């Protein structure tokens, strides 16, 4: 029997009587279920924390839940841990609202703003910059955020409530199953942890630099867009006027990546920092190649925690300053809100 | 909801849990079927339900009126056909007509841009409209007694397994089946499982894997300049559309068997056909026979001479092209097949070729290659793109198979080899071997393990989900 053999007119001999559980159809289905559980349990890279589909479905529906929001692309998603920032900063709820292949757009920044609890007295937005996140939007590369935004409420419900089932039945190859059975034979070992605060902690070995080559290709075709930079600075200006503190920083990666991005993307870090500061934001200088990256772009889990602490330390210096005029203005506008 | 979705698996589980109990009494069974089918269909967009209900009500009452006012049967038939064709015209063809009218007015120097309506095309409208029309036409012809129970009628019209992409089941075949309650035998359960599993395999493993490469090829801003690449892409599309569509039909037939109903076979390995006449006896059989019985034969069929026969054939094929979609490239696809059939009729080239040694293989190959060329019109987004693809395919100076190898995904290549292998298996008649027909215990055990493994492959080796191609029709 092969894939196009439809046994419509041929029937196999079957007893027409007998218990339902003894028939061949039921037996085959039971065997299939057993094989599925064997195969599913052989998945090599077992993620922990939330199930991926549930994680994304919840994340895309976040609203009014944060005092501080982290924005950006996958480097921020993987590289900045709210739990690393939290202890040193005066924000109770910090959420990582970054997405894979994300680009800054008015739609995304509006969504990030909606995460802030209106009643919160201290509100902040952290803008993690990568040259890719400032490139213009193209139809062939919409980014994960815009893809997720297209999810219907029904899809979100299914992903939220059946995330475990969907994860178990995620496609995988026989090679994956083999590597699950013999982990030592797998070329890479990856552990992902989908956290409820939005951070995806990744630990991957061995360390490689594959992303540098990929970015070289991407950035050769796509460069930083002045329109996107203007959009970001316009939001910085708007938010600071509303009393929201806005911090900007460039996400670290590795030396080769920094070089490729400076060469090909058309990104001018100094000019961007100047525009950002002029718009009212606070610019944090980061050490771009001081943290361990597992692929040349994204930070290893431990490095992400270290970077988050360093970032928090730099931000806390600003936070200790006398409240800014903007903050005072915000207080004046909403005198009755309590902390 | 789509067959290849988690929600459908849950839906089907719930449906079949209730079916053995609720199928026992006529009205309960029909109401259960209608409710389940409306949930299935309304899952896309609940507003679509108004159309199917409206279309169904017209035909249900037209059927009753034909029986009661027999002298005016024709009037009721015309009303029913106008209702059905009218809804198709509005939802499917209005914007196509407006676009062409604007172009025509522009050609005469009249700049009157009539705005397009941009109505949403309800899923599967062409399928259930044709199914509904077959009811009133068969009642008119006296082949069928109209049902007096509205739930019985709607159970027929909206039966969820074949509602949105066929097979198109005639009222005279399905309405009597819905009146009976047959216990599903172990054989039927097994056959049903085979059909469902093979159907899913064709869709989620073969068609969806090939779709990645095909979609990327047609969506690229600039077509890749490699004849080798485009021939491979088009062969992939030929198998993608076949596996996508016949996969759906198989799943529908399998679900039907589990319910105790028999739906007609819709595909019989069309790519092993040695002539175009045979191809159309193997491809989308339920639609071909629908057009044969309700369009071609009423036009006169082959009874009025050779020339009139060809005119009837071209009319039927062109309507079939339009049935697939309101666009010129579908019409050109139909023209290509009409041309093939006419040439075949006048030259009898397949029969002549088959007299030569190895002629059957050559005829099959020739029919396949010509079918692949016709698919270019079907798949291209515009007529202009179809011409560009032809230009690439026949630029034999630029075969560039190395580029094709780089551009085509590994999985798609493997799947293509598997499907070509399976076609050869059938073409060489290996499916009729002793082992295939064997009823020995080892063979039965082998079949069970094979199906179980195929289920696991469908689950874990499925490609990213794509909508069934024929939903848009």
Which B residues 356-385 touch A at CB under 8 Å?
none
What is the Cα–Cα distance from B148 to B140, expressed in whole angstroms?
A: 15
Give me the phi and psi of A49, to 5 degrees please.
Answer: 80, -140
Interchain pair B265, A2: CB under 8 A: no
Question: Cβ A4–B186 below 8 Å, yes or no?
Answer: no
Distance of alpha carbon A318 from alpha carbon A254, whole angstroms: 27
Using a CB–CB cutoff of 8 Å, tell me whether B184 touches chain A.
Answer: no
Confidence (pLDDT) at A328:
44
CA A153/CA B112 separation, integer angstroms: 41
Asked if B427 is an active-site residue, the reply is: no
Taking CB atoms and an 8 Å limit, are A10 and B437 in contact across chains? yes
**Residue B159: per-residue pLDDT:** 93
pLDDT digits 0-9 by tens, A89-126: 888 899 999 999 899 999 999 999 999 999 998 899 99
pLDDT in tens, B52-90: 999 899 999 999 999 999 889 999 999 999 999 998 889
Question: Who contacts A337 (Cβ-Cβ below 8 Å, separation ≥6)?
Answer: A119, A121
Q: Which residues lie below 8 Å from residue B245, measured CB to CB, with a gap of 6+?
A: B165, B266, B267, B284, B468, B469, B470
Mean pLDDT of chain A: 85
- Segment A224-244, tens digit of pLDDT: 999 999 999 999 999 999 999
CB neighbour list of residue B72: distance below 8 Å, 6 or more residues apart = B65
Domain ranges across chain B: 6-181, 187-472
Pick from A7, A2, A24, A6: which is nearest to A15 by CA? A24
CB A105 within 8 A of CB A72: no
CB atoms inside a 10 Å sphere around CB B249: 27
Pairing of strands A200-205, A189-194: antiparallel
Q: Please check whether residue B422 touches A, CB under 8 A.
A: yes
Per-residue pLDDT, averaged over B447-454, amounts to 93
- The token pair at B246 is 């016949």
Res. B125 pLDDT band, cuts 50 70 90:
confident
A210/chain B closest Cα distance in angstroms? 19
Average pLDDT for B293-319: 90
Q: How far apart are CA B194 and CA B202, in angstroms?
A: 12
Among B191, B409, B429, B458, the residue to mutate for chain A (most A Cβ within 10 A):
B191
What is the end-to-end Cα distance of chain A in Å, rounded?
A: 70
Q: Given CA atoms B273, B278, B283, B285 in this order, what sign does their dihedral have?
A: negative
What are residue B170's phi and psi, to 5 degrees? -70, 150
Please report, for residues B16, B29, B185, the alpha-carbon distance to residue B26 in angstroms, rounded to integers and kept in the order given.
17, 5, 20
pTM value is 0.79
B201 touches chain A (CB under 8 A): yes
Residue A184 CA to chain centroid, in angstroms?
Answer: 29
Is B186–A7 a contact, with Cβ atoms under 8 angstroms apart?
Answer: no
Cα-based distances in Å from A78 to A192, A202, B471 = 10, 7, 39
The least confident of A194-208, B116-130, B273-287, B377-391 is B116-130
Q: What are the chain A neighbours of B426 within 8 Å (beta carbons)? A: 2, 4-5
Find the range with the poorest average confidence among B106-115, B193-202, B239-248, B353-362: B106-115
Active-site entry in B324, B329, B337, B427? B324
In angstroms, how far is CA B113 from the centroid of its own chain?
Answer: 35
Min distance A99 CA to chain B CA atoms (Å): 20
Which residues from chain A sit within 8 angstroms of residue B455, using beta carbons? 29, 32, 35-36
**To 5 degrees, how large is the angle CA B462–CA B464–CA B467?**
105
Buried b (16+ CB within 10 A) or exposed e, B182-194: eebbbbbbbbbbb
CA distance A34 to chain B (A): 9
**Omega before B253 cis (within 30°)?**
no
**ipTM for the whole complex:** 0.80
The helix (H) or strand (E) run that includes residue A117 is none
More confident residue, B404 or A282: A282
Mutation to test the A interface, candidates B10, B194, B410, most A Cβ within 10 Å: B194
**Do B246 and B285 contact (CB within 8 A), yes or no?**
no
Chain segment B234-267, per-residue pLDDT in tens: 999 999 999 999 999 999 999 999 999 999 999 9
Helices (H), B108-226: 125-140, 150-158, 171-178, 186-200, 208-219
Percent with pLDDT over 70 in chain A:
86
Asked whether B141 and B66 are in contact (CB, 8 A), the reply is no
Cα Rg of chain A, angstroms: 24
Take residue B22 and report the two structure tokens written for it: 């609720």
Tell me how far apart the alpha carbons of residues B132 and B81 are, in angstroms, rounded to a whole number.
9
Least confident of A115-124, B16-25, B108-117: B108-117
Q: Nearest-5° angle of CA A73, CA A79, CA A83?
A: 120
Mean pLDDT value across residues B446-463: 91
pLDDT in tens, A34-61: 999 988 888 887 778 899 999 999 999 9
Q: Name the residue with higher pLDDT: B4 or B350.
A: B350
What span, in angstroms and rounded, lies between the C-alpha atoms of B251 and B269?
16
Contact A5 B195 (CB under 8 A): no
Nearest alpha carbon to residue B36 among B55, B17, B54: B17
Q: What are the respective helix, strand and coil percentages of chain B, to the nearest 5?
A: 75, 0, 25
Q: Name the minimum distance, in Å, from the CA of A304 to any CA of chain B.
A: 31
pLDDT tens, position by position, A63-97:
999 999 999 999 999 999 999 998 888 888 999 99
> What order of strands is seen across the sheet that includes strand A200-205?
A48-49, A189-194, A200-205
- Contact between A67 and A115 under an 8 Å Cβ cutoff? The reply is no
Question: Are A11 and B187 an interchain contact pair (Cβ–Cβ within 8 Å)?
Answer: yes
Using CB atoms, which residue from A29, A35, A173 is nearest to B461? A173
DSSP-H helix ranges across B43-162: 48-68, 73-88, 94-107, 125-140, 150-158
Cβ contact, residue pair B253, A23, below 8 Å: no
Is B465 an 8 Å CB contact of chain A?
no
Strand A94-96 and strand A124-129: pairing?
unpaired
CB proximity B14 to A under 8 Å? no
Closest CA to B326 of B166, B126, B132, B162: B126
Q: How far is the CA of A121 from the CAs of A31, A69, A112, A245, A328, in angstroms?
A: 59, 14, 17, 11, 10
pLDDT for the residue numbered A175: 81
Flag whether pLDDT at A7 surpasses 70: no
Whether the pLDDT of residue B402 is over 80: the answer is: no
Structure tokens at A131: 């040259």
CA A107 to chain centre: 17
Residue B335 corresponds to which tokens in the numbers above? 């023209």
CB B275 within 8 A of CB B352: no
Q: Give the closest of A5, A23, A158 to B7, CB-based.
A: A158
Determine the pLDDT at residue B422. Answer: 85
- Say which of A3, A14, A165 has its CB closest to residue B187: A14
pLDDT(A156) > 80: yes
The pLDDT, as a whole number, for residue B333 is: 92
Average pLDDT over residues B147-176: 90
The residues of A whose Cβ lies within 8 A of any Cβ of B are 1-8, 10-16, 18, 23-25, 27-29, 31-32, 35-36, 39-40, 140, 154, 158, 162, 165-166, 169, 171-174, 177
Q: What percent of chain B stands above pLDDT 90?
A: 51
Q: Which of B451, B456, B466 to probe the A interface (max A CBs under 10 A)?
A: B456
Residue B110: both structure tokens together: 């009249």
Predicted pLDDT at A141: 53
Residue of A nearest to B465 (CA): A171
* Nearest CA-CA distance, residue A139 and chain B, Å: 11
Closest of B371, B375, B377 to residue B344, by C-alpha: B371
Under the banding of pLDDT at 50, 70 and 90, the label for residue B417 is confident
Q: Could you give the CA distance from residue A151 to residue A142 in angstroms, rounded to a whole number?
A: 14
Kindly state whether B202 is in contact with chain A, defined as any CB-CB distance less than 8 angstroms.
yes
- In percent, the amount of chain B with pLDDT more than 70 equals 98
Q: Mutate which of A2, A43, A53, A170 to test chain B, going by most B C-beta atoms within 10 A?
A: A2
Distance CA A54, CA A162 (A): 8
pLDDT at A138: 59
Beta strands in chain A (DSSP E): 48-49, 68-71, 94-96, 124-129, 189-194, 200-205, 245-250, 282-284
User: In this structure, are residues B275 and B344 in contact, taking their beta carbons and an 8 Å threshold?
Assistant: yes
Number of A–B residue contacts, CB under 8 Å: 125
Q: How far apart are CA B421 and CA B195, in angstroms?
A: 20
Contact B448 A36 (CB under 8 A): no
Strand partners, A127: A71, A248
Domains of chain A: 50-175+189-324 (3.40.50.1110)
Cα dihedral A172, A174, A180, A181, rounded to 10, equals: 160
The whole-number average pLDDT for the span B121-131 is: 86
What pairs with residue A247 in β-bridges? A126, A282
Tell whether B194 is within 8 A of chain A (Cβ): yes
Mean pLDDT calculated for residue range A159-166: 88
pLDDT above 90 (res B5): no
User: What are the chain B neighbours of A166 within 8 Å (beta carbons)?
Assistant: 6
Distance separating alpha carbons of residues B73 and B89, to the nearest angstrom:
24
């Amino acid at each position: 029997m092969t894939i196009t053999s439809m046994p419509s007119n041929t029937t196999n001999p079957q007893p027409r009587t007998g218990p339902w559980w003894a028939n061949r159809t039921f037996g085959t289905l039971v065997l299939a279920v057993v094989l599925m559980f064997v195969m599913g349990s052989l998945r090599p890279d077992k993620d922990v924390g939330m199930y991926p589909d549930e994680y994304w479905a919840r994340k895309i529906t976040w609203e009014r839940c944060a005092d501080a929001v982290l924005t950006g692309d996958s480097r921020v998603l993987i590289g900045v841990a709210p739990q690393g920032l939290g202890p040193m900063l005066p924000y109770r709820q910090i959420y990582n609202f970054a997405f894979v292949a994300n680009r800054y757009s008015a739609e995304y920044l509006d969504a990030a703003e909606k995460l802030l609890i209106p009643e919160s007295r201290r509100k902040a937005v952290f803008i993690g910059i990568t040259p890719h996140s400032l490139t213009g939007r193209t139809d062939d590369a919409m980014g994960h955020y815009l893809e997720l935004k297209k999810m219907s409420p029904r899809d979100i419900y299914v992903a939220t409530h059946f995330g475990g089932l969907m994860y178990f039945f995620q496609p995988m190859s026989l090679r994956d199953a083999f590597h699950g059975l013999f982990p030592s034979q797998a070329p890479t070992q990856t552990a992902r942890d989908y956290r409820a605060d939005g951070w995806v902690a990744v630990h991957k070995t061995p360390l490689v630099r594959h992303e540098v080559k990929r970015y070289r290709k991407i950035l050769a075709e796509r460069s930083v867009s002045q329109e996107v930079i203007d959009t970001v600075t316009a939001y910085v200006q708007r938010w600071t006027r509303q009393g929201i503190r806005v911090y900007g920083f460039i996400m670290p990666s590795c030396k080769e990546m920094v070089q490729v991005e400076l060469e090909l993307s058309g990104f001018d870090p100094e000019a961007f920092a100047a525009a950002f500061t002029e718009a009212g934001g606070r610019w944090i200088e980061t050490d771009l190649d001081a943290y361990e990256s597992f692929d040349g772009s994204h930070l290893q889990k431990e490095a992400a925690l270290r970077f988050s602490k360093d970032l928090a330390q730099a931000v806390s210096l600003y936070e200790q300053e006398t409240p800014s005029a903007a903050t005072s203005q915000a207080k004046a506008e909403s005198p009755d809100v309590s902390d | 909801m789509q067959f290849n979705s988690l929600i459908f698996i849950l839906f089907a589980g719930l449906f079949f849990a209730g079916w053995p109990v609720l199928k026992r009494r006529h009205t309960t069974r029909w109401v259960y079927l209608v409710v389940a089918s409306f949930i299935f269909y309304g899952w896309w967009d609940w507003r679509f339900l108004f159309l199917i209900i409206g279309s169904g009500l017209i035909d249900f009452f037209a059927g009753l009126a034909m029986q009661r006012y027999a002298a005016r049967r024709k009037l009721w038939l015309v009303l029913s056909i106008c209702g059905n064709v009218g809804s198709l015209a509005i939802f499917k063809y209005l914007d196509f007509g407006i676009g062409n009218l604007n172009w025509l007015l522009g050609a005469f120097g009249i700049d009157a841009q009539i705005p397009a309506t941009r109505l949403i095309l309800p899923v599967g409208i062409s399928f259930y409209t044709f199914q509904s029309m077959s009811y009133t036409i068969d009642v008119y012809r006296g082949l069928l007694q109209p049902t007096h129970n509205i739930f019985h009628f709607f159970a027929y019209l909206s039966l969820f397994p074949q509602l949105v992409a066929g097979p198109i089941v005639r009222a005279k075949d399905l309405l009597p089946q819905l009146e009976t309650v047959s216990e599903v035998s172990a054989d039927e359960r097994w056959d049903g499982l085979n059909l469902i599993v093979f159907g899913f395999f064709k869709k989620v493993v073969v068609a969806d894997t090939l779709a990645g490469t095909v979609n990327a090829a047609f969506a690229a801003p600039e077509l890749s300049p490699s004849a080798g690449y485009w021939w491979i892409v088009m062969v992939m599309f030929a198998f993608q559309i076949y596996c996508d569509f016949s996969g759906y039909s198989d799943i529908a037939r399998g679900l039907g068997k589990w319910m105790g109903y028999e739906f007609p076979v819709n595909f019989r390995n069309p790519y092993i056909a040695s002539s175009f006449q045979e191809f159309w006896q193997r491809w989308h059989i339920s639609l071909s026979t629908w057009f044969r019985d309700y369009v071609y034969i009423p036009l006169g069929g082959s009874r009025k001479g050779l020339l009139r026969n060809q005119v009837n054939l071209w009319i039927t094929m062109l309507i079939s092209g339009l049935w697939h979609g309101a666009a010129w490239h579908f019409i050109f696809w139909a023209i290509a097949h009409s041309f093939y059939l006419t040439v075949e009729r006048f030259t009898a080239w397949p029969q002549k070729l088959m007299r030569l040694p190895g002629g059957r293989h050559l005829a099959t190959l020739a029919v396949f290659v010509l079918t692949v060329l016709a698919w270019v019109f079907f798949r291209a987004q515009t007529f202009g793109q179809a011409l560009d693809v032809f230009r690439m395919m026949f630029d034999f100076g630029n075969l560039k198979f190395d580029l094709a190898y780089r551009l085509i995904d590994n999985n798609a290549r493997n799947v293509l080899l598997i499907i070509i292998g399976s076609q050869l298996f059938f073409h060489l008649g290996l499916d009729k071997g002793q082992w295939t027909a064997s009823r020995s215990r080892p063979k039965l055990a082998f079949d069970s393990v094979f199906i179980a493994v195929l289920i696991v492959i469908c689950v874990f080796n499925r490609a990213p989900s794509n909508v069934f191609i024929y939903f848009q029709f």
